[in-house]
Amino acid sequence: MLKQMTNESFVSYEVRLHPQRLEMSVKMHITGDVAKGKNGGLLLELPTWVPGDYSFESYGRDIFSITAHDARGSALPIERKELNGYLIRVTDGPVLVEYQAACYEPDLGDAMGIVDTGYTVLMGTRYLFCVDFVGACSVDYAEIPDGWRIHHPSGATRAGNTNKWTYPSFEILLDTPVCFGGFRLLQRIIKDTIFYFVFVDKGLGFDEKVNEFVDKVSLTAEKIHDVFGLFPFSDYTFILSLNPQADWGLEHLTSNMSGIGPEVFVDDGLFATGIRVCAHELFHAWNVRRLRPAPFGQLKHQLCCGSFTEGLWMAEGFTRYYEFLISARAKVYSPDQFFSAIAGYFQHLTQQPAYSRVSVTDASLATYMNHSKYPGRVNNSIDYYDKGMLIAFGLDARLRSADKQAKYASLDDSFKAFYLQYFGDGTAIPNDYVGYTTKEVIQFYEEVQPGLGSILAAQLMEPGNIDTDSQLEAIGFEVKWLDTRYLGLFFLNDGAPTIYGVADDSPAGKAGIAPNDVIQAINGFAFSQKGLEWAGSQTASVHLEVLRGHRKLTFQLTPAAFRKMDYLLWKGTDVQAEKINRWLDTEDFKPAVGQRFDLDFYDNFHGIEKMV
């Protein structure tokens, strides 16, 4: 039944879950002036992207059986409009829209939500919205399977003891994942704030290790609080899946959805990675969900066209830096691993030809093209996460090792000040909020320390210019280099013998080897990874046989000279060592002069690109 018509625009949804069909059904009530449409039509859409997931998606493909009716119950003509939209022919309201949605696509679950037989996470991405009205709306979760519970993150108002919530805007609905099912719910109190941990599924070692995991993640939350001096929410929810198909990692205002993998509780390395993923997404509650690069403050007007910013180097890159720093402070990683990770990101970034061709601001603006990995990216696109991380480390190192006292003594202090200046200490996003600009960041750090803004500008606006090696030496290390040779072949994760990328200025690039070629033989012998690495490090020519589609091709190439970081030596003073202890919130960094630090730890949850 249609709701009473008023002049005030409002949209309300009634949702019913159908877990055995992996579907949901929606009734959308549109009332007030917006229901009258414009020029004889009412335009409804689904977002083509969601904040934090920098890619355009056809989210509307799962909707079917859509109908529309007027106040008298008469059917209204409805037609598809562009990618994810529908146009309803109407001149007066109210309007009732009904549709079904297939809801099982685990790898996009953090952006779209998911209906499983054992649990459900509902996202605003499943709800059509009025393009001309993104104001307050409500959702009545009207039919929940017997025995299922509901967990709703903060940010909306509940109507008594019902399952109906009112959201300040459609953007907040889009930013609020709601959980249903027989999930495992744990909670901790951190700095007088409740943190919820919703595990929608389990894995081996879950019962034995889950509390240790939650305690470690809670410690990272405490360490992030130490940076900013506040929690910008009344409570916070981690929604976690161990499903290997759940390629999740998406931040929200008061929650996040993260896939931590099926072996997180049985493998120490993956256990640490899972904690670091949670720390990364939690840090986003400050950096990008509240403090935003322009024009991200106006997302409500950009849900169907994308939002393009040059500031993701800070929004994502600083967050990547802090995922490692906070994890080190929480004793998830040792000081050795922290500095090895910094060196590893420097090595992996600078070995790509794109490093000397593409600025980090340009890479940020091109995120809808380059966020997902693709053949050729080693030559024409850098990861703004990686360069942003190294920029953050460089700022921190410079401030902590400055001969003259800067306005702020660390990145912690300066970033907190920047956050308070450009967002404030509240929680809500102001209606007129646009976000900070790159120019404002540069000016801010020029005021922190004269000359620092100029260094930052060169690192942001020009290709290259990262001096991680010099900053490691400034804080007490000596960088030891290894002169070796290389072929210029890149492999992604454990994808060998399939070639992921080819450096176009390398021996492999000049020889004509292509991405997705599959190496069959090396100098007449069957492929092995170690064999390829050995051959690529020699001076003699290498004979490669590859399979390209249905063709077998052969290439002769000679390894070229290459220089890479080998290890670090400690050459610093006791004063420098103590500064690092305060930096990492530890007492474990007590190196002797001449002590060697191996660079054997590197982890990147976006994938590891290994070059031979």
Nearest to 593, CA basis, from 573, 579, 575: 573
Per-residue pLDDT at 4: 46
CATH of the domain at 456: 1.10.390.10
The answer to whether residue 73 is domain-embedded is: yes
On whether both 162 and 215 belong to a single domain, the answer is: no
Q: Does residue 249 have a pLDDT over 80? A: yes
On whether both 347 and 472 belong to a single domain, the answer is: yes
Per-residue pLDDT at 5: 46
Q: Does residue 153 have a pLDDT over 50? A: yes
On whether both 501 and 465 belong to a single domain, the answer is: no
On whether both 59 and 159 belong to a single domain, the answer is: yes
Separation of alpha carbons 590 and 578, rounded Å: 8
Q: Which domain holds residue 147?
A: 10-180
What is this structure's pTM?
0.96
Q: How far is CA 325 from the centre of its chain?
A: 17
**Percentage with pLDDT > 70 across the chain:** 99
Cβ–Cβ < 8 Å for 89, 19 = no
Q: Does residue 2 have a pLDDT over 60? A: no
On whether both 193 and 114 belong to a single domain, the answer is: no
Q: Does residue 606 have a pLDDT over 90? A: no
- What value does the mean pLDDT of the chain take? 95
Q: H helices of 153-205, where?
A: 170-174
Domain boundary among 125, 150, 180: 180
Q: For 510-528, how does the pLDDT look when each residue is reduced to its tens digit (9 = 90+)?
A: 999 999 999 999 999 999 9
Cβ–Cβ < 8 Å for 140, 127 = no
On whether both 419 and 460 belong to a single domain, the answer is: yes
Q: Comparing 262-271, 372-381, 493-502, which segment has the lowest mean pLDDT?
A: 372-381
Give me the mean pLDDT over the 376-384 stretch: 94
The answer to whether residue 18 is domain-embedded is: yes
Q: For 336-347, how does the pLDDT look when each residue is reduced to its tens digit (9 = 90+)?
A: 999 999 999 999
Q: For 407-424, how does the pLDDT look when each residue is reduced to its tens digit (9 = 90+)?
A: 999 999 999 999 999 999
Query: How many residues in the chain?
Result: 612
On whether both 207 and 175 belong to a single domain, the answer is: no
Render the burial of 362-396: b for 16+ CB within 10 Å, e for the rest: bbbbbbeebbeeeeebbbbbbbbbbbbbbbbbbbb
Give me the mean pLDDT over the 259-269 stretch: 97
Quickly count: other Cβ atoms within 10 Å of residue 310's Cβ: 22
Separation of alpha carbons 567 and 479, rounded Å: 6
CATH of the domain at 121: 2.60.40.3650
- What's the number of domains the chain is made of? 4
Nearest to 367, CA basis, from 437, 315, 321, 442: 315
Q: Does residue 275 have a pLDDT over 70? A: yes
pLDDT band of 332, cuts 50, 70, 90: very high
**Exposed / middle / buried, residue 55 (Cβ in 10 Å: 0-12, 13-18, 19+):** middle
CATH of the domain at 537: 2.30.42.10
Per-residue pLDDT at 203: 95
The answer to whether residue 1 is domain-embedded is: no
pLDDT band of 399, cuts 50, 70, 90: very high
The answer to whether residue 157 is domain-embedded is: yes
The answer to whether residue 304 is domain-embedded is: no
The answer to whether residue 52 is domain-embedded is: yes
Domain boundary among 558, 575, 602: 558
Separation of alpha carbons 203 and 209, rounded Å: 10
Q: For 285-327, how does the pLDDT look when each residue is reduced to its tens digit (9 = 90+)?
A: 999 999 999 999 888 888 988 999 999 999 999 999 999 999 9
On whether both 194 and 174 belong to a single domain, the answer is: no
Q: Which residue has the tokens 């249609």?
A: 2
Domain boundary among 477, 498, 516: 477
| Tokens (6 digits) for 39 | 């020029």
On whether both 242 and 131 belong to a single domain, the answer is: no
Angle at 600 between CA 581 and CA 465, to 5 degrees: 75
- Helix count and strand count (H, E) for the chain: 18, 30
The answer to whether residue 586 is domain-embedded is: no
Q: Does residue 3 have a pLDDT over 60? A: no
Per-residue pLDDT at 93: 83
Q: Which residue type sits at 612?
A: V
On whether both 72 and 172 belong to a single domain, the answer is: yes
On whether both 56 and 85 belong to a single domain, the answer is: yes
pLDDT band of 6, cuts 50, 70, 90: low
The answer to whether residue 591 is domain-embedded is: no
On whether both 205 and 169 belong to a single domain, the answer is: no
Separation of alpha carbons 410 and 100, rounded Å: 52
Give me the mean pLDDT over the 245-255 stretch: 95
